[in-house]
Amino acid sequence: MVYLILIFAGLFVFLSYRRLDWALMLILVCLPVYQLRFSAFGLPMTLLEVMILSSFAVWFLRETKFLSFLKRQYGWRDYLVARKERAPYPFRHEIALVLVVSFVAVGISHFSNSSLGIWKAYFFEPILFYVLVLNVFQEKDETGKAKFNFEKIILPILFSGFLVSLFAIFQKATGILTMSNFWPRVTGVFTYPNALGLYLAPMVLLATGMIKNYELRITNFKFLGFLGLILVYLLAIVFASSEGALVGILAAWFIFALLWVGEKFKFNFLNYLAKIFIIIFLGFSIIAPWFFLKVIPEYKYFNFSSHSLNYLTDKLMLKDFSGEVRKQQWRETWAMMTVSPATFIFGTGLDNYRASVAPYHQPGIFFNFDRDMDFRRKIVWAGSEYKTKHWQPVEIYMYPHNIFLNFWTELGLAGMVLFIWIIGRFIYIGLKLLKQESEYKGIILGLIGAMIVIFVHGLVDVPYFKNDLAVVFWVLLALMGALEVGLKKKVR
């Protein structure tokens, strides 16, 4: 195994040396290879990390003045002069704060190997990839002007989603290579179904943005290609029964449509309406645990004559089994986070949530699958047979399954506020850019939609704390940052 990894690393370094853009495109296609894990010097490592670190090392040694600096051919004064000619990195202040806050979270976890592994895989290396994207994909057009090549980034991501979706569809059609504990839900190349939805949902909006960007019509081959991608993604998500992903896609499409129509026909009121809904969605994402626990009455149900309507309302109100599990997680998380001021402010530290929440964990819940209005009284007074029938065991998960609780527990209050700021600023930049004349309006809409999918799906899931998802998040920031810079100056 070690020799195979070394051979692969050597070949990938060679590819990076010859064609760094191809190497980065290959990384985007192969994001799921993070599941190939091993240990290096006592730290957990993945094949995806090897690819990112190798490509960054090649870029850093070849394209920067680091070697000249070591040879004393390039000094600090030269750096300061050259810096004035470069555009500053977008989100540079946020990036610095993310690195500091996340490393403090490693310290809270006593610099354990697992926390260091999480830090480099979810923060340090994705930010390195962000730097690579902004530098490598700036090219010269026919006139010699710098032009950012968005297709070289977006198309490999979409192709990766296509391959993953095809495998998921194959699983559903044949039952081969499936996870028996989740069947009939499929998982694709991942180990659980929701991972498939988390990976594919933002791609649906990126593909939608590509259709808009090129104003493609139904008779156009590219239109049919992107439409086919969207349908394949949706089919895989449906087979995975990733309902959070579908809700996120519908919310993002709704905003996308308002902005698209408003921009196309100059209906300013639609743009204002879209902004209002974005604020509502983002605000609701932040307060969702409180809303579902304190505002929605427990054991109260809508009773329609239609089973489908009952099912839909139970899903939306988190009264199905997965929803009740999420609410129990949030109760336990709140109990843990409020046990002391230090935990409330600094969180539990990276990769320390499971151990910290264990004393507050309830090994199971009584689930009211009968939708019985008198369920609370019966659970208290009924016999053991009734209780056993409604008892459902619940494991301790890696994260609280809410995007902002995830950041709060792992990074503390500062980390949670920081990522709320990053998401909000990302969308603000996108909305501001839509007002300008640009050939990239479809891409901007796709990026806004992808971020909306992330935080809406994040109501009940973990859309960042996974190797591939962290890289996708920072790639989205890099793309929006490239648009903000104006694609004029080289950054380094």
pLDDT at 85: 65
Which pLDDT score, from 0 to 100, does residue 186 have? Answer: 95
What is the pLDDT at residue 74? 63
pLDDT at 487: 47
Indicate the number of domains in the chain.
Answer: 2
For residues 47 and 193, state if they share a domain.
Answer: no
pLDDT score for 78: 57
Residue 382 covered by a domain: no
**Start-to-end Cα distance in the chain:** 36
Domain contains 270: yes
Token readout for 298 is 């427990």
The pLDDT assigned to 402 comes to 93
Residue 380 lies in a domain: no
Does 195 share its domain with 331? yes
Q: Check whether residue 350 and residue 461 sit in a common domain.
A: yes
Mean pLDDT by 10 residues, the chain (492 residues): 82 94 96 89 86 94 71 61 70 95 95 92 96 87 73 96 97 90 91 95 96 71 88 96 94 94 82 91 88 85 83 88 93 94 94 93 88 82 83 92 94 95 95 86 95 94 95 97 70 45
Domain co-membership, 65 together with 134:
no
pLDDT value at residue 79: 58
Domain check: are 76 and 104 in the same one? no
Residue 409 inside a domain? The answer is: yes
pLDDT number for residue 399: 94
- In this prediction, residue 40 carries a pLDDT of 74
User: What single string gives the DSSP state of each residue in 26-83?
Assistant: HHHHTGGGGGSEEEETTEEEEHHHHHHHHHHHHHHHHHSSHHHHHTTSS-HHHHHHHH
Spatial neighbors of 23 by CB under 8 A, at least 6 apart, are: 12, 15, 16, 51, 54, 55, 58
119 and 58 within one domain: no
Q: Is residue 294 part of a domain?
A: yes
Q: Are residues 149 and 48 in the same domain?
A: no
| pLDDT for position 490 | 43
Co-location of 259 and 354 in the same domain: yes
Q: Do 59 and 135 share a structural domain?
A: no
Interatomic CA distance for residues 292 and 298, integer angstroms: 9
Same domain for 301 and 245, yes or no, is yes
Boundary residue ending a domain (62, 85, 108) = 85
What is the extent of the structural domain holding 112? 88-361+396-492
372 found inside a domain: no
Which of 28, 60, 85 terminates a domain? The answer is 85
* Residue 192 DSSP code: S
Domain boundary among 65, 85, 105: 85
Could you give the CA distance from residue 309 to residue 311 in angstroms, rounded to a whole number? 5
Contact by Cβ (8 Å): 430, 442? no
Q: Which residues make Cβ contacts (< 8 Å) with residue 435, sequence separation at least 6?
A: none
Q: Which two tokens stand for residue 44?
A: 């957990």
Please check whether residue 370 lies inside any domain of the structure.
no
Same domain for 184 and 46, yes or no, is: no
159 lies in the same domain as 200: yes
* Tokens 């139904």 belong to residue: 218
Is 381 inside any structural domain?
no
